[in-house]
Structure 1
C-alpha cells in the first residue's frame, strides 16, 4: 500500500517476492537456576539430588534444616559431599539407617534396582520421629542421577502404634474373658457331673423300692394302683436316663482330647457297626461317600457319628425303605461332612433348638429319647474347632452338617 502524490489516497500495489522460509520452532523457555532452587525449596519433604557416584549436587531448604537439626554439617551432607559415602560410614544424621540407605542408593545408581524405599526411626531428644526414604533415578544427557527424598511419617506411625496398642488391649481383654468363660464352663460341667452323680443314687432307690412295693402288695393292688406305679416307674426311668445323659455331656466336656490324623470313613463305619442292632428288621439303603482325614480324637468323633446315624435311623423308622447318606465336600479352610436321611424332618423355625440340652422337636409318643445326643455332638465338634448346623422340612428328611478345620499342609 503506497500514498499517491499528496492526494491523501492510498493504492495497493503488488510485488513478486520469493516465498519466505518456514519459521524456526519456538525455543522452550529456559528456567533460571534460581527458579529451580526455589522449586526445590517449595517441596516440604527433605530432598537432595546426587550424581552417579553419590555426590550431592543440590539440596532444598528442608534438607539443610534437617541436616543442622540432627548433627549434620555442610561437610557431611551439604552440596559437594558424597552422600553415599556418608551413609556407608553411618555419620550423622544417617548414623542408624545409613548402611541400609547406602545399599539401596548404590543399587539404584548402578542400575540394579529401579528404585529404593525404606522406613526408619530418627528420634529427637524430645520426641519420637519416623521417616521414609525414597531413591528415584533419572537420566540427563546420558548421565545417571537420583533424587533422595526423606518424608516425615511420624503421624502415621503414631496412629499405627495407637491402633496396635488398642488391638493388643482388646486381644488381652478377649483372652482374659475367654479364659474366664472356659473356667466357668469347666466349673459348670464339673458341677453338673457331681450333681448328676449324686442324683443317680436316690433315683435308683426310688425305682428299687417301688419294684419291691409292687412285689409285696401285688395281690392287693387295683388296676389304678398298678397304672400309677407304672407312671412312677416310667418317670423315674426317664429321670435316670436324663441323669445318664448329663453325666455323658460332662464327660464329653472334660475328657482330654487326644488329637491325631483320623480317617472319617473308618470312624463312620465303626459307628455304623456299633448301632447296627438298631437296624434289625429294617430296610435301609446305606450310602457312604468319600470322607476326609481330619485332626481329632477318634473316640469322640465316633460318638458324634453314632449320635447322628442313630438319629437318622430313629427318624426314618416310619418308612418301609429308608435311605441314609454320609458324604463330604470341601469348604473354605474346612471339611464339611453331612449325614442325610429321608425321615420325618423337622420344622426349620425350630432349628435353633436342635443342639440344646434336653431339646426335642418331636413328642415321646412318636419317638423316644432324652434330647441330649445333638448337644453332645455340638460340644464335641466345637472342641475340635468346628461347627454344626442342620437343614430340614417336615416330611422331607433332614441333613446334619459338621465342619472340621482342614489339617495344615504337610511340611
Structure 2
C-alpha cells in the first residue's frame, strides 16, 4: 500500500538537513563536514543502541514540540494491534485522520503493512506545518546548545567550588592561628597565676577551693591536690569563719570588689598569720557555676607592728598620765608656795616700809643726809618688792580662777586700759592709732589684763621716742584673725625670743627699763586658757609688734 502524503512529509521533515551538510542515510559513524559547510558544535559520543525488548524513547527535535494548533497528530495504536504486528499474524490499520484546515488536500492513511510501528513510537507527537522554503534546525545543532550550557554550568560550579575551597582553607588557617594564640595566652595566664607573688584562689558559693596558685599553697601550708575541693574555712580560726561566710555571701550577691581581714589557724610550730582578702565575682566560660576570685595578702608583719604600736602607745599614755599628774601636783604646790610666800612677804615688807617712813619723817633733821638717802633707797626697794609680790599673787590666781566667758566689747577694754595707764602717758607726746575691734567671747577681767600689760609694755619701751606711735587693730595672719599692738620703741633682739614669755625673764637691764618679767608671762598664761597664743616680731631700735588670738576671736571675725 503506498504511503500517505502526510506520513511522507513527516518522515521527510525529520531527515532533512541544512544545505552543504552530508545527508545521514544510515547509522554509520558521522563523516566530517566539508570546508564549505557551516560550523557545528561538537557532540558527545553516541550511546550504544538499547536492546530490542525495551527501546529508548526517541528524542524529538524542538520543532516537533510546537503547539498542537499548527501540527498534525499521529493516531495512537492499541496494545492488541501492537502485539499483532509483532507476531506478524495481522496488520494494523491506522484510522483516518481528518484533514487540517491549513492543508485540506492531505488525507491520513495507514503506513505500509510491511513496516509495523513499535509501541514506543506510537506517541502523540506534533508535526509542525512547514513550507518548502523553511528548513528545520538539524537535530545535532539543537542538541549542541544544551551541551554547551551544561559545560559552562560545570565550569562555573567548578570555579565556585574552588573559591569556596580556598575560603575554607583560609578560615581553617585563621582558626588554627587563633587557637594557637589562645593556647599560648592561656599558658601565659596559668604561668602568671602560678608564679604570682600574691596568693590567689577561687572558690564556689559553698566556700570550697577550686583552684589556687603556689603562693596560696605556701601561705596555707598545704599541698595543692589536697587543698582542692576543701572548704577555705578549714584553714581559718573560729572567729574568722563567720566573717568569711558573710564576706562570701556579699561577693555572690554584689559583684563589686569586697575586702575583709581574717586570721589563719595556727599550726604546730607556726605563729598566727593574718591575711587581707580582696574578692570579686568571676564568671568564666569554662566554669559552669560562678566563682569567687580571692587574693590573699599576708599582713602579719603589719598586724604585729600595729599591735606593737598599740602596746607602746598604751605605755606612753600611762607615762604621760603619770607625768601629767605629777606636773599638776607640782604646779599646785608651786602655786600654793607662791601664794604663801606672797602673803608671808607682804607683812615684813609693810613693816620695813613703815619704819623707814618714820625715820625719814621724824628724824629728817637729826640724821645725816647720807642716812636719809639710804632710807629713800629702802622705801624704793620695798615698793618694788610689793609690786613683785602682787604680780606673783595675780599670776598664781590665773590657774585657780575659773573662766567667766561672756560676749565682750574689746573696744571698751582698750579704753579702760588707757585710763588705767593715764599716769604713765601723762606729759608725753603719744599718737594713738586704733581700729575698731569686734565683740568676742572671753573672760572680761583676764582679757582686760592682757590689754593693760601690752599697752603698758608699748608705753614703757617707746618712752625715748618723740612722738611715740602706738597702733592697735586686727589682721589675718596664717589664716587666723589676730589683734596686734605695735609701737615704734627700742624693740629687742630676736635671738632671745624664746625667753620673751617666760616668768622673770627680761631682755633689757633694770638700769634701762623697770620691770620684773611677769607681765608677758601672764599674757601667755591667760591666752592659753582661752585656747589662743601670742607671738611677737621686733628689730633693735625699730619697734616691736605683738599679735595674739583666742578661740572667741576666731568665731567672731571672718577668716
Common fold by TM > 0.5: yes
Name the structure where strand makes up a greater proportion of residues.
1
Distance in structure 1 (CA, Å) of the matches to 2:368 and 2:396: 42
Per the alignment, residue 119 of structure 1 pairs with: 261
1:6-27 deviations in Å (ceiling 9; x for gaps): xxxxxxxxxxxxxxx9985573
| 2:277 aligned to which of 121, 127, 133 | 133
Count of residue pairs the alignment pairs up: 376
Partner of 1:249: helix, strand, or coil? helix
Deviation, structure 1 residue 294: 6.2
Residue 77 (structure 1) aligned with residue 231 (structure 2): yes
Per the alignment, residue 249 of structure 1 pairs with: 395
1:308-331 deviations in Å (ceiling 9; x for gaps): 011112222333333222334445
Per the alignment, residue 493 of structure 2 pairs with: 347
1:44-88 deviations in Å (ceiling 9; x for gaps): 75533357x78868322647995989xx9977738xxxx9xx9xx
Cα gap change, 1:216 to 1:284, in 2 (>3 Å): closer
1:28-58 deviations in Å (ceiling 9; x for gaps): 161599997776555575533357x788683
Contact 2:203 2:211 (8 Å CA) reproduced: no
Deviation, structure 1 residue 105: 0.6
| 1:377 aligned to which of 523, 532, 552 | 523
Cα gap change, 1:295 to 1:141, in 2 (>3 Å): farther
| Structure with bigger gyration radius | 2
| 2:484 aligned to which of 338, 343, 362 | 338
Distance in structure 2 (CA, Å) of the matches to 1:404 and 1:223: 54
Partner of 2:242: helix, strand, or coil? coil
| 1:301 aligned to which of 447, 464, 485 | 447
Deviation, structure 1 residue 245: 1.8
Partner of 1:255: helix, strand, or coil? coil
Deviation, structure 1 residue 364: 4.6
Deviation, structure 1 residue 398: 0.8
Per the normalisation by structure 2, the TM-score is 0.56
Distance in structure 2 (CA, Å) of the matches to 1:334 and 1:236: 44
Cα gap change, 1:318 to 1:119, in 2 (>3 Å): same
1:96-142 deviations in Å (ceiling 9; x for gaps): 21354135413542xxx3x2222234554875442211114556569
Cα gap change, 1:190 to 1:47, in 2 (>3 Å): same
| 2:540 aligned to which of 382, 387, 394 | 394
Residue 182 (structure 1) aligned with residue 328 (structure 2): yes
- Once structures 1 and 2 are overlaid, which stretch shifts more, 230-239 or 315-324? 315-324
Cα gap change, 1:407 to 1:67, in 2 (>3 Å): farther
Name which structure has the greater RCO, CA cutoff 8 Å, separation 6+: 1
| 2:302 aligned to which of 139, 156, 170 | 156
- Structure 2's unaligned 5+ residue stretches are 1-168
Deviation, structure 1 residue 199: 0.8
Residue 226 (structure 1) aligned with residue 372 (structure 2): yes
| 2:468 aligned to which of 295, 305, 322 | 322
Partner of 1:254: helix, strand, or coil? coil
Distance in structure 2 (CA, Å) of the matches to 1:408 and 1:316: 30
Per the normalisation by structure 1, the TM-score is 0.74
For residues 89-100 of structure 1, the aligned pairs below 5 Å read 95-100=241-246
Per the alignment, residue 360 of structure 1 pairs with: 506
Distance in structure 1 (CA, Å) of the matches to 2:404 and 2:219: 65
Partner of 1:175: helix, strand, or coil? helix
Distance in structure 1 (CA, Å) of the matches to 2:509 and 2:187: 95
